[in-house]
């Protein structure tokens, strides 16, 4: 219930406060509103909007719940679990050592032991949202630029730019080569920044990619790192979906690339990670920055004072992630279930006559509806999106909100619902495509 | 693993390389001394006693009891685990409704139930550290200024300025009137800012005050509200110590003051709150921004994405703070225990001739050591501080690190130790004062012509040079891991 204020505020707020860079006026968020107002429910609201615009992982909760049921004495402060007082007081910005150790181990396990992580290089933040913003504050000055491959996660517009005053210059990728990042595209982006008088401070990649749902190949990672070294800029690799690759062998972390190069150029590399996607715990606000640069680690740690992780949560997760049997089984099972979900949606879309980019990771697929556009423009894409949202009642995310340079692509999330709901969604799509065929035949 | 370190070819930002992260001060050097040699009653009885950390350790038993009696409030127990999934996926920046309602109710009770806080205006942040920075991001542009009455919490230098680009202009408060914030002092500071071409956007106060340990009286509060309305600037009230009031006068929130002031533009009024001090749970990172300005509230809420409270913690506290019986008992007991601790300490000091500012709140008191200064200057204060730290092994905080305009005052924390440690600390101070008096009396008998005062102690060790450098940056966190 908002309090009604009659007279307008006569004192100006900051430029940051009145800007629109928080990015909430985009269709990405408008679709969520439509869902909020009319949410699908298997029993109570079968004609409601199905949420396919939220990249959440709900396929493996039972594993977490089972762990807690079997180990609650260890992670809670009940009888037999000392330390409530010490835990409640613990606000050291280094973070709980046991938690950092557990995170380092978990990150190593995800990478199949192909990279090692030093717990003392782990800086904790309240989510990857905070980690990306914090790194931007450290690596760039207001007015500087970061190069980001398109299409990219819509939240970057806020996280990298809003309070930092830093600009994003896109590295354009397109479908002709499956949206891979090329040296030519990197150079073109850099030149574009220079022509706008912007000082480029770094490149930020997401690997596996959101929204593409695919991993970046080793050769491309090497090219990107070479480019960063050549231009003397930073490289941030957001690996938030690293544990969500369907097959362990297909993900190559920048950490592995560095190891293979004997850590040459490592001091310009920084990795962002979080438990929000791989473990499905976005509410707990667990993000990390892993930097190979001592100054960045020290500064990031100090700055993390503004965004520390609740010690209660650090304690719980330190216990959970230190249990190797649990983490091993979780990582393996989670991958299998995501793979199965992915196959289900791809097959379902194929039957409806829809193609997707070949994916191998993430909680979503990158769907190509360009043949359905009235006109091959952003406007045409948004018109189609409106129909899908309001008539088919599926909240999917239009590619333009991800800054995709080609209209007609949509990100469709599949891991945040039950299999039954996914089946309903696929039926609706099938019906929609059938109706369109009939219409076009009749014209 | 060895990473070869290049010679700073990687340039970091200006924010990353300036010194506004604020760790260069005796405030933090003292913590390092404690880190290196922490007191323990049996294992290290000659170690440094930490009296520079405003933590509240007096009421954990009450919280722990509640947790053990309410296992369902924790999503990690058999009773609570069926809520795990819903809580774990909840990342809505509005926060759990039950959490906001519980916090609003708690803030109301802490304010003596004189005002009702609207749960829909509660915005989360990662501790008051996050809340103060968030408010500044909403209100100021780089280069703008905020007035801050001194002495003030050293952390403000970082929290208000580091990433926002804000400038702080102190409002000097004097011991002659018990450091009250006067209209004249506010006007003075405002004019100074104008002279320096700084655009003043507001004034931030801490009520109860850190480091003074006093609540602001209603007249001063009204004067502040009138001042900001006249100048059309903001008033931010950091009320983080609201429930640590243990004596009269009672705590009066700015929310209560403006209820009776029709002339006040409420768009200028903002409150920062946290559970870190009142409940003693700084690790849980529960900060609150409560603004009467809709635009600020909406903006701060969007910004809270950068520092949300863990949903696990929201869930636990929603349950705990909704328990009226628990809250009532906790607030009463906490006040009682703080009052007792405060009394023991200040009485003990009084007996050896050391006086403190009369205070009724906070986890510390403001100790007057002016008479013990070799010279009435900040150098004299630091020299005395070194003696207290290195010879008495008490980490107290010198007033200069709070930007106090007068030398000789020290903040002494008392709520972060047990009763036995309090006795040890008092004994050390007694011994120091008595020893000093003996020295004085012997000196005046033997060498009345000599100008310099010599302080001599049983230990032949001089002060540790490594702590003296003002540029020393502690490689360890200044936020000390708690030790009983």
CA dihedral B158, B160, B165, B166 (to 10 degrees): -130
pLDDT, position A76: 62
B74-323 CATH: 3.40.640.10
pLDDT over threshold 70, residue B481? no
- Cα–chain center distance at A415: 13
The residue ranges of DSSP E strands in A214-276, in sequence order, are: 234-238, 269-274
ipTM given for this complex? 0.91
Q: Which of A14, A130, A316 is the closest to B137 by Cβ?
A: A14
pLDDT, position A58: 85
Q: Does B9 contact chain A (CB < 8 Å)?
A: yes
pLDDT, position B4: 42
d(CA B53, CA B74): 29
* Residue count (chain A): 443
**Residue B237: beta bridge partners?**
B205, B271
Cross-chain Cβ contact A299/B133 below 8 Å? no
d(CA A414, CA A362): 9
Please write the tens of the pLDDT for every residue from A83-124.
788 888 888 999 999 999 999 999 999 999 999 999 999 999
pLDDT, position B466: 33
Measure A177 CA to nearest chain B CA, in Å.
33
Closest C-alpha among B258, B262, B210, B260 to residue B235:
B258
- Per DSSP, the three-state class of B356 is strand
Cβ contacts of A414 within 8 Å, gap of 6 or more: A52, A341, A342, A344, A345, A363, A364, A365, A422
- pLDDT-derived band at A203, boundaries 50, 70, 90: very high
CA distances from B128 to A285, B161, B236, B237, B335 (A): 17, 15, 12, 11, 21
Task: Find out whether B372 and B404 touch, Cβ atoms under 8 Å.
Answer: no
Q: Which residues of A touch B302 (CB under 8 A)?
A: 22, 24, 158
pTM: 0.91
Cross-chain Cβ contact A84/B60 below 8 Å? yes
Q: Does B71 contact chain A (CB < 8 Å)?
A: yes
Please write the tens of the pLDDT for every residue from B203-215.
999 999 999 999 9
Cross-chain Cβ contact B67/A303 below 8 Å? no
Closest C-alpha among A422, A424, A317, A323 to residue A58:
A422
Measure B15 CA to nearest chain A CA, in Å.
7
pLDDT, position A73: 61
- Per DSSP, the three-state class of B205 is strand
Output B22 or A191, whichever has higher pLDDT: A191
Q: Which residues of B touch A94 (CB under 8 A)?
A: 477
- pLDDT-derived band at A82, boundaries 50, 70, 90: low
Measure A68 CA to nearest chain B CA, in Å.
6
Cross-chain Cβ contact A299/B479 below 8 Å? no
Instruction: Out of A13-27, B212-226, B330-344, pick the least confident.
Output: A13-27
What would the two tokens of residue A153 be? 């996660």
pLDDT over threshold 80, residue B311? yes
Q: Does B7 contact chain A (CB < 8 Å)?
A: no
pLDDT, position A2: 46
pLDDT over threshold 80, residue B455? no
Measure B189 CA to nearest chain A CA, in Å.
20
Residue of A nearest to B124 (CA): A307
Largest CA distance in chain B: 81
Q: Which residues of A touch B91 (CB under 8 A)?
A: 127, 276, 282-283, 285
- pLDDT-derived band at A437, boundaries 50, 70, 90: confident
pLDDT over threshold 60, residue A146? yes
CA distances from A435 to A57, A429, A430, B87, B260 (A): 32, 10, 9, 40, 65
A355 backbone dihedrals φ, ψ, rounded to 5°: -100, 150
Average pLDDT over every residue of A412-435: 95
How buried is A126 (Cβ within 10 angstroms: 0-12 exposed, 13-18 middle, 19+ buried)?
A: buried
Map tokens 């949410």 to a residue.
Answer: A39
Please write the tens of the pLDDT for every residue from B458-478.
333 333 333 333 322 233 333
What would the two tokens of residue A263 be? 């850590």
Measure A111 CA to nearest chain B CA, in Å.
17
State the catalytic residues of A: 153, 238, 240, 277
Output B449 or B71, whichever has higher pLDDT: B71
Cross-chain Cβ contact B21/A303 below 8 Å? yes
Average pLDDT over every residue of A54-63: 86
- pLDDT-derived band at A443, boundaries 50, 70, 90: low
Q: Does B238 contact chain A (CB < 8 Å)?
A: no
Q: Which residues of A touch B267 (CB under 8 A)?
A: 5, 9-11
- pLDDT-derived band at A22, boundaries 50, 70, 90: confident
d(CA B87, CA B85): 5
Whether B240 sits among the annotated catalytic residues: the reply is yes
Output A74 or A297, whichever has higher pLDDT: A297
- pLDDT-derived band at A80, boundaries 50, 70, 90: very low
- pLDDT-derived band at B272, boundaries 50, 70, 90: very high
Instruction: Out of A78-87, A277-286, B25-34, pick the least confident.
Output: A78-87
pLDDT, position B1: 43
Instruction: Out of A13-27, A364-378, B164-178, B239-253, pick the least confident.
Output: A13-27
Task: Find out whether B203 and B324 touch, Cβ atoms under 8 Å.
Answer: no
Cross-chain Cβ contact A14/B141 below 8 Å? yes
Please write the tens of the pLDDT for every residue from B105-160.
999 999 999 999 999 999 999 999 999 999 999 999 999 999 999 999 999 999 99
pLDDT, position B6: 43
The residue ranges of DSSP E strands in B185-296, in sequence order, are: 200-206, 234-238, 269-274, 287-291
Output A146 or B22, whichever has higher pLDDT: A146
What would the two tokens of residue A347 be? 């097959």
**CATH fold for the domain made of B26-60+329-433:** 3.90.1150
pLDDT over threshold 60, residue B259? yes
d(CA B32, CA B36): 6
pLDDT over threshold 90, residue B451? no
pLDDT, position B76: 81
CA distances from B127 to A131, A428, B58, B223, B284 (A): 17, 45, 20, 29, 8
Annotated active-site residue in B135, B168, B203, B240 = B240
- pLDDT-derived band at A75, boundaries 50, 70, 90: low
- pLDDT-derived band at B447, boundaries 50, 70, 90: low
- pLDDT-derived band at A74, boundaries 50, 70, 90: low
Cross-chain Cβ contact B307/A126 below 8 Å? yes
- pLDDT-derived band at B448, boundaries 50, 70, 90: low
Task: Find out whether A309 and A285 touch, Cβ atoms under 8 Å.
Answer: yes
Q: Choose the mutation target among B5, B11, B13, B309 for the interface with A, i.e. most A CBs under 10 Å.
A: B13
pLDDT over threshold 70, residue B484? no
pLDDT, position A210: 97
pLDDT, position B23: 79
Task: Find out whether A287 and B263 touch, Cβ atoms under 8 Å.
Answer: no
Q: Which of B4, B76, B89 is the closest to A316 by Cβ?
A: B76
CA distances from A298 to A92, A240, A294 (A): 13, 22, 6
Whether B393 sits among the annotated catalytic residues: the reply is no
Residue of A nearest to B155 (CA): A305
**Residue A125: beta bridge partners?**
A287
Average pLDDT over every residue of B427-441: 85
pLDDT, position B125: 97
Name the percent of chain A lying above pLDDT 90: 79
CA distances from A361 to A111, A246, B479 (A): 14, 5, 39
Cross-chain Cβ contact A285/B309 below 8 Å? yes
pLDDT over threshold 90, residue A362? yes
- pLDDT-derived band at A14, boundaries 50, 70, 90: confident
Angle between helices A218-231 and A183-195 (to 10 degrees): 30
Residue of B nearest to A284 (CA): B310
Measure A241 CA to nearest chain B CA, in Å.
16
Average pLDDT over every residue of A202-219: 98
CA distances from A83 to B64, B184, B417, B451 (A): 10, 50, 17, 54
Name the percent of chain B lying above pLDDT 70: 90
Map tokens 């009369």 to a residue.
Answer: B358
Instruction: Out of A24-28, A229-233, A389-393, pick the least confident.
Output: A24-28
Structural domain spans, chain B: 26-60+329-433, 74-323
Q: Which residues of A touch B13 (CB under 8 A)?
A: 137-141, 144, 201
Cβ atoms within 10 Å, residue B462: 9
Contact pairs from chain A to chain B, CB under 8 Å: 274
- pLDDT-derived band at A15, boundaries 50, 70, 90: confident
pLDDT over threshold 70, residue B67? yes
For chain A, what is the mean pLDDT?
Answer: 92
């Amino acid at each position: 219930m908002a309090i009604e204020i009659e007279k307008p505020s006569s004192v100006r707020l900051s430029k940051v406060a009145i800007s629109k860079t928080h990015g909430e006026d985009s269709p990405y968020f408008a679709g969520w509103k439509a869902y909020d107002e009319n949410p699908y429910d298997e029993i109570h609201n079968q004609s409601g909007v199905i949420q396919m615009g939220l990249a959440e992982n709900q396929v493996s909760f039972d594993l977490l719940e089972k762990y807690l049921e079997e180990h609650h004495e260890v992670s809670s402060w009940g009888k037999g679990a000392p330390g409530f007082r010490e835990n409640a007081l613990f606000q050291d910005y280094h973070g709980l050592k046991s938690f950092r150790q557990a995170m380092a181990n978990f990150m190593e396990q995800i990478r199949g032991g192909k990279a090692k992580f030093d717990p003392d290089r782990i800086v904790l933040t309240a989510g990857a949202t905070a980690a990306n913003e914090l790194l931007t504050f450290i690596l760039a000055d207001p007015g500087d630029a970061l190069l980001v491959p398109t299409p990219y996660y819509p939240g970057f517009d806020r996280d990298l730019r809003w309070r930092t005053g830093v600009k994003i210059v896109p590295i354009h990728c397109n479908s002709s080569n499956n949206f891979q990042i090329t040296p030519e595209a990197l150079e073109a982006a850099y030149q574009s920044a220079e022509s706008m008088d912007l000082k480029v401070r770094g490149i930020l990649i997401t690997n596996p990619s959101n929204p593409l749902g695919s991993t970046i190949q080793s050769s491309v990672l090497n090219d990107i790192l070479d480019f960063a070294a050549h231009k003397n800029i930073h490289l941030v690799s957001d690996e938030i979906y690293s544990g969500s690759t369907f097959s362990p062998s297909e993900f190559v972390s920048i950490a592995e690339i560095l190891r293979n190069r004997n850590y040459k150029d490592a001091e310009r590399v920084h990795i962002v990670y979080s438990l929000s996607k791989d473990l499905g715990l976005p509410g707990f606000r667990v993000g990390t920055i892993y930097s190979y640069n001592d100054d960045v680690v020290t500064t990031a740690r100090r700055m993390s004072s503004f965004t520390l992780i609740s010690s209660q949560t650090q304690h719980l997760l330190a216990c959970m992630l230190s249990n190797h049997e649990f983490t091993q089984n979780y990582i393996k099972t989670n991958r299998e279930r995501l793979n199965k979900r992915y196959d289900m949606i791809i097959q379902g879309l194929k039957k409806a006559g829809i193609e997707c980019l070949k994916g191998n990771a993430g909680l979503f697929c990158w769907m190509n509806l360009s043949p359905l556009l009235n006109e091959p423009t952003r406007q045409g894409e948004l018109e189609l999106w409106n129909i899908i949202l309001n008539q088919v009642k599926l909240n999917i995310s239009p590619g333009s909100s991800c800054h995709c340079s080609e209209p007609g692509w949509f990100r469709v999330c599949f891991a945040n619902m039950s299999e039954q709901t996914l089946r309903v969604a696929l039926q609706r799509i099938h019906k929609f495509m059938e109706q369109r065929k009939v219409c076009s035949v009749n014209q | 693993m060895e990473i070869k370190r290049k010679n700073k070819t990687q340039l970091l930002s200006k924010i990353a390389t300036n010194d506004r992260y604020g760790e260069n001060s005796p405030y933090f050097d003292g913590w390092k001394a404690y880190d290196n040699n922490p007191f323990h009653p049996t294992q290290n009885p000659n170690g440094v006693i930490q009296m520079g950390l405003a933590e509240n350790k007096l009421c954990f038993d009450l919280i722990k009891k509640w947790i053990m009696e309410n296992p369902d409030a924790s999503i990690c127990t058999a009773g609570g685990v069926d809520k795990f999934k819903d809580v774990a996926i909840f990342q809505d920046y509005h926060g759990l409704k039950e959490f906001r309602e519980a916090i609003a109710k708690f803030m109301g009770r802490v304010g003596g139930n004189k005002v009702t806080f609207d749960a829909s205006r509660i915005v989360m942040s990662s501790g008051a550290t996050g809340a103060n920075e968030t408010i500044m991001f909403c209100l100021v542009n780089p280069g703008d200024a905020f007035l801050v009455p001194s002495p003030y919490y050293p952390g403000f230098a970082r929290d208000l300025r580091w990433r926002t680009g804000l400038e702080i202009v102190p409002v000097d408060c004097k011991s002659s009137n018990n450091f009250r914030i006067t209209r004249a002092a506010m006007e003075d500071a405002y004019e100074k800012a104008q002279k320096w071409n700084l655009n003043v956007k507001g004034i931030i106060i801490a009520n109860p005050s850190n480091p003074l340990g006093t609540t602001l009286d209603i007249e001063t509060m009204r004067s502040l509200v009138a001042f900001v309305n006249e100048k059309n600037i903001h008033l931010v009230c950091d009320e983080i110590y609201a429930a640590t009031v243990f004596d009269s006068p009672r705590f009066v929130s700015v929310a209560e003051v403006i209820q009776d002031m029709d002339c006040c533009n409420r768009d200028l009024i903002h409150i920062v709150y946290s559970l870190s001090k009142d409940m003693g749970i700084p690790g849980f990172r529960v900060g609150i921004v409560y603004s009467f300005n809709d635009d600020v509230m909406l903006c701060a809420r969007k910004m809270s994405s950068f520092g949300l409270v863990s949903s696990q913690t929201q869930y636990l506290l929603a349950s705990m703070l909704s328990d009226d019986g628990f809250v009532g008992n906790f607030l009463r007991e906490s006040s009682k225990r703080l009052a007792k601790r405060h009394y023991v300490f200040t009485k003990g000091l009084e007996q050896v001739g050391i006086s403190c500012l009369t205070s009724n709140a906070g986890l510390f008191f403001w100790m007057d050591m002016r008479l013990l200064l070799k010279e009435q200057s900040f150098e004299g204060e630091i020299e005395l501080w070194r003696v207290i730290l290195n010879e008495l092994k008490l980490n107290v905080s010198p007033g200069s690190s709070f930007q106090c305009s007068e030398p000789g005052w020290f903040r002494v924390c008392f709520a972060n130790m047990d009763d036995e440690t309090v006795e040890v600390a008092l004994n050390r101070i007694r011994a120091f004062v008595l020893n000093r008096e003996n020295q004085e009396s012997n000196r005046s008998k033997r060498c009345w012509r000599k100008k310099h005062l010599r302080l001599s102690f049983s230990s032949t060790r001089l002060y540790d040079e490594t702590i003296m450098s003002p540029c020393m940056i502690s490689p360890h966190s200044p936020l000390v891991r708690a030790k009983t």
